[in-house]
């Protein structure tokens, strides 16, 4: 069984004090930094792009987990093939989604993820299950941090876990949106092993408690 890992979403951090936030992430020993890339097309919001991602990844030295909430093309995706970026995840529902993009990401020696929104059935990932390194189950509608987890998404996590077991795929099952101290245990019990945490990490001052809880869960696993 894979270790449970934590990927704080930098989108929820204090950008005025970004350096301090990054130093703290290093100190806490987080596994990844999660980068929420939004294009005001696939989602109704704009975040930041490759330039800022590159600088944060370089300064922090922490492996990067890029979550592309954008309409897709090889050209756009190629801008995120950056140093210290380990995972690039694309949305099944995005315009331009194709196996070619998955292959392109892999050919750049990155791990590739496929993400589904709360309304998308889990079966959507099955045709890609043998070629991806990660399945991301969105637990909120993508676009904004600070939302509450949608309860019906928890059974989707269990269903994806069943699919991964059935196909013998020991890959990441990532959850993203409204993850906090109160639901981490449930999500992990449902099969999640990569936790994206935004507001609960940066805004509610729970970072240490979250890291301790995950350490504990890894011990009793
Ligand atoms: C939502 C993003 C999430 C979000 C996480 O579109 O993909 O990564 O920023 O933030 P919280 O944990 O606050 O929901
Ligand atoms: Zn995200």
Model's pTM, two decimal places?
A: 0.98
CB 31 within 8 A of CB 197: no
Cα(120)–Cα(131) distance, rounded to whole angstroms? 20
Axis crossing angle, helix 18-28 with helix 207-220, rounded to the nearest 10: 20
Active-site positions read 36, 176
3-class state of residue 176 by DSSP:
strand
Tell me, what's the pLDDT at 221? 78
Tell me, what's the pLDDT at 176? 99
Which of 175, 170, 193 lies closest to 137, judged by CA? 175
Taking the centre of ligand 1 as the mean of its atom positions, its distance from the CA of residue 204, in whole angstroms, is 14
Axis crossing angle, helix 50-60 with helix 18-28, rounded to the nearest 10: 50
Tell me, what's the pLDDT at 205? 79
Residue 1 has pLDDT above 80, yes or no: no
* Residue from 8, 11, 33 to probe ligand 1 pocket by mutation (most atoms less than 8 Å from CB): 11
Closest C-alpha residue for ligand 1 atom 9: 145
CB 31 within 8 A of CB 63: yes
- The label of the residue with tokens 């189950």 reads 137
pLDDT digits (tens, 9 = 90+) for 152-198: 999 999 999 999 999 999 999 999 999 999 999 999 999 999 999 99
pLDDT digits (tens, 9 = 90+) for 57-94: 999 999 999 999 999 999 999 999 999 999 999 999 99
């Amino acid at each position: 069984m894979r270790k449970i890992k934590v990927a704080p979403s930098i989108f929820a951090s204090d950008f005025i004090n970004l350096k301090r936030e990054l130093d703290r992430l290093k100190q806490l020993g987080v596994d990844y930094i999660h980068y929420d890339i939004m294009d005001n097309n696939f989602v109704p919001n704009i975040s930041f792009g490759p330039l800022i991602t590159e600088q944060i990844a370089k300064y922090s030295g922490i492996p990067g987990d890029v979550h592309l909430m954008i309409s897709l093309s090889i050209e756009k995706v190629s801008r995120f093939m950056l140093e210290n970026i380990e995972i690039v995840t694309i949305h099944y529902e995005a315009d331009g989604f194709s196996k070619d993009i998955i292959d392109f990401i892999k050919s750049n020696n990155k791990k590739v993820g496929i993400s589904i929104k709360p309304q998308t059935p889990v079966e959507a990932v099955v045709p890609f299950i043998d070629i991806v390194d990660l399945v991301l189950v969105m637990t909120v509608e993508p676009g904004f941090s600070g939302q509450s987890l949608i309860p019906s998404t928890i059974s989707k996590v269990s269903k994806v876990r069943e699919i991964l077991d059935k196909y013998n795929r020991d890959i990441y099952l990532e959850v993203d949106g409204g993850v906090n101290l109160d639901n981490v245990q449930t999500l992990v019990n449902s099969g999640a092993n990569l936790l994206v945490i935004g507001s609960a990490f940066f805004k509610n001052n729970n970072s240490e408690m979250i890291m301790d809880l995950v350490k504990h869960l890894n011990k009793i696993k």
